[in-house]
Amino acid sequence: MRLTALDELAERLGLKKEQGVAEARAMYPTIEVVEEDPAADRRLLEAIADWCDRYTPLVAFDGKDGLFLDITGCTHLFGGEKALLKDVLSRLFHMGIDARGAISSSPGLSWAVSRFGQSGVIEDEETERVLMSLPIAALRLQGQTVDALKKLGLKYIGDVINAPRAPLTRRFGPELLLRLDQALGHEDEPVSPRRPVASLSAESRLIEPIGTEEQILAVTRQVAVSLQPSLEARGAGGRVFELVLFRVDGRVFRISVGASQPLREPKFIAGLFSERLQAVYDDLDAGYGFEIVRLNVLQHDPFNEAQADFEGDRQGEISLSAFVDRVSARLGADCLQSFQLRESHVPERAVIAVPTMDKLSRRGKAEQGGSLPFREERPLRLFATPEPVETILAEVPDGPPQIFRWRRMQHQVAKSEGPERIAMEWWIDGSDAEARDYFRIEDEAGHRFWIYRRGFYGQELDPRWFMHGVFA
């Protein structure tokens, strides 16, 4: 067993990473060693990243123990860069987390200062001076590169910052100068956020925390009101909304809802979250209350402002959309399923089940093309897997069955229509896939079936019959 992480006291005692635990205990018998739990560490870092969303939506992971925050355009909301950094570090400290941070014009410089220097704000004119005093490891180089540089006496960034570049590149490769230029701000280094950035967002910072369902819905509607002008300016309506609740102790809850049609009316948006909160509120631990309520628009579509006709033909569509939205918000988007046609002549691939919410939102596009026309001769109920049928008597070579047994019951065919030959898709099923001959048949009791024969009479293998669906 070896040491993988140290606190400041252990570092001052002279302990090192990768040092054996037995050796460390021999040096300091009272040392406290906790077994590493990478999964728990990751959950903690994710929770801190969620909490940091109060400052900026652009939060990215930095390895196993750090975060990058792109605060461009956000600092004025907190009184400037110094006030923002102080607020972040002090809040984390009161939550029991000893963190370091730095603000600069480049992620590389912030990383170097926060890990090897003193927390603070570095102005652009101070970049080179601050870097020169930091160890070479502050450039985020690989361990072997750092060791090789130290053997040559290049222990600090100041030893290489003004050195000839060509010899350094030949000796250590391009990584050294790339990291140096990134720290100096000469090379761009974008921060990739861990979560999709909302296209529109509005929030309310509350003087007194709230916790009841009614209070949350009331604030949500107020925030939706402030979001409406932005949607109107874009000529759009929200399709997917996210309610973010920041609890006083730092925990963050996210609740998402979707709409089958673009929405911008605050009462309709709040209505969706009303249904969702009724389903999840028991699992929503308000604790000492929520201090920030944020509403994000994760997806938006053009909003159709055309007036409905006087006959009210559009009223049924609006009512259906509202019903689908309410049920989906409470029970989940997959609770209601609709069928969507696909470009395939193989029956089991021609139709798939999709959430009704998605079906309504894509109705206009589906009507414009991209699907095969619906065939009325297809059965109302199509089996996902065709079921074998025992044929007792059938016309040879291409006729329908006269007597067959299915699900332990024998049927006498009274009427039949077919065959309809359907070849399989060779690019999926292979070139040797057998074609099917489909028949619509009706037995003497009036039951109607859709049955097919795979293979042909006269071949080496006897054809087999399958039940693929039943008519109403």
pLDDT at 456: 79
Residue 371 has pLDDT above 50, yes or no: no
Residue 291 has pLDDT above 80, yes or no: yes
Contact assessment for residue 428 and residue 410, using Cβ atoms and an 8 Å cutoff: no
Q: Count, in order, helices (H) and strands (E) of the chain.
A: 16, 16
Compute the residue count for the chain.
Answer: 472
> Could you tell me the domains of the chain?
57-184 (no CATH), 200-326 (3.30.1490.100), 337-368 (no CATH), 381-470 (no CATH)
Name, of 26-35, 347-356, 366-375, the range with top average pLDDT: 26-35
For the four alpha carbons of 379, 382, 386 and 387, in that order, the dihedral sign comes to negative
Residue 407 has pLDDT above 70, yes or no: yes
Rg of the chain taking only CA atoms, in angstroms:
33
Sequence-separated (6 or more) residues with CB below 8 Å from residue 353 = 337, 338, 339, 340
More confident site: 391 or 470: 470
Average pLDDT over residues 3-28: 89
pLDDT per position as a tens digit, 221-239: 999 999 999 999 998 999 8
Prediction pTM value: 0.67
Residue 361 has pLDDT above 70, yes or no: no
CA nearest 135: which of 159, 151, 118? 159
Contact assessment for residue 240 and residue 286, using Cβ atoms and an 8 Å cutoff: no
Contact assessment for residue 134 and residue 157, using Cβ atoms and an 8 Å cutoff: yes
More confident site: 359 or 85: 85
Contact assessment for residue 342 and residue 349, using Cβ atoms and an 8 Å cutoff: yes
Q: How far apart are CA 382 and CA 379, in angstroms?
A: 6
Contact assessment for residue 157 and residue 184, using Cβ atoms and an 8 Å cutoff: no
> Which residue's structure tokens are 């300016």?
233
Residue 309 has pLDDT above 60, yes or no: no
What is the rounded end-to-end Cα distance, in angstroms, of the chain?
A: 70
pLDDT per position as a tens digit, 173-218: 999 999 999 999 999 888 889 988 888 999 999 999 998 989 999 9
Lowest mean pLDDT among 9-23, 152-166, 303-317: 303-317
pLDDT band for position 246 (cuts 50, 70, 90): very high
Contact assessment for residue 418 and residue 400, using Cβ atoms and an 8 Å cutoff: yes
Residue 304 has pLDDT above 60, yes or no: yes
CA nearest 444: which of 399, 402, 411? 411
Sequence-separated (6 or more) residues with CB below 8 Å from residue 244 = 53, 203, 252, 253, 254, 292, 293, 294, 295, 296
- The sheet with strand 290-302 has its strands ordered as 200-210, 290-302, 236-247, 252-263
Average pLDDT over residues 125-131: 92
pLDDT at 472: 67
More confident site: 335 or 467: 467
pLDDT at 367: 42
Q: How far apart are CA 104 and CA 189, in angstroms?
A: 13
Contact assessment for residue 52 and residue 191, using Cβ atoms and an 8 Å cutoff: no
Residue 426 has pLDDT above 50, yes or no: yes
> Which residue's structure tokens are 């699907």?
371
Residue 118 has pLDDT above 60, yes or no: yes
Q: Give residue 58's Cα distance to chain centre.
A: 15
> Which residue's structure tokens are 């139709």?
351
Contact assessment for residue 220 and residue 197, using Cβ atoms and an 8 Å cutoff: no
Q: How far apart are CA 194 and CA 66, in angstroms?
A: 13
More confident site: 165 or 334: 165
